[in-house]
Amino acid sequence: MNVISTDKAPAAIGPYSQAIEVNGMVYTSGQIPVNPATGEIPEGVEAQAKQAFSNIAALLAEAGSSIEKVVKTTVFIKNMEDFGKINAIYADYFTGTFPARSCVEVARLPKDVLLEIEAIAIK
């Protein structure tokens, strides 16, 4: 088991790893849309989705993987009315074969962001 850590994604704000690699699989912790360079959270669900995917991409790159190798995602959204907007951004990042996905509406997320995304990828 290898701990994956990079300053190109937000630091963990609790007792967990940014990502873990085990047996050729990379498991990311949920990524909220915090810009790791500034600590800022962008306005709007589309900008937040792009930042969360950027954070995931940075973790996967650090692990020797990529967005193209994602096999499963879980998307937590604050408002299911944003589902279509998030889907549009999602489709920009995943082309060809889409990964399996779960998407659930939640009452509240850390730092009151609008979404959080986690991913599982092959190496």
Residues serving a catalytic function are 103
**Which of 59, 103, 102 lies closest to 80, judged by CA?**
103
Can you tell me whether residue 65 is helix, strand or coil? coil
**Token couple for 52:** 């969360």
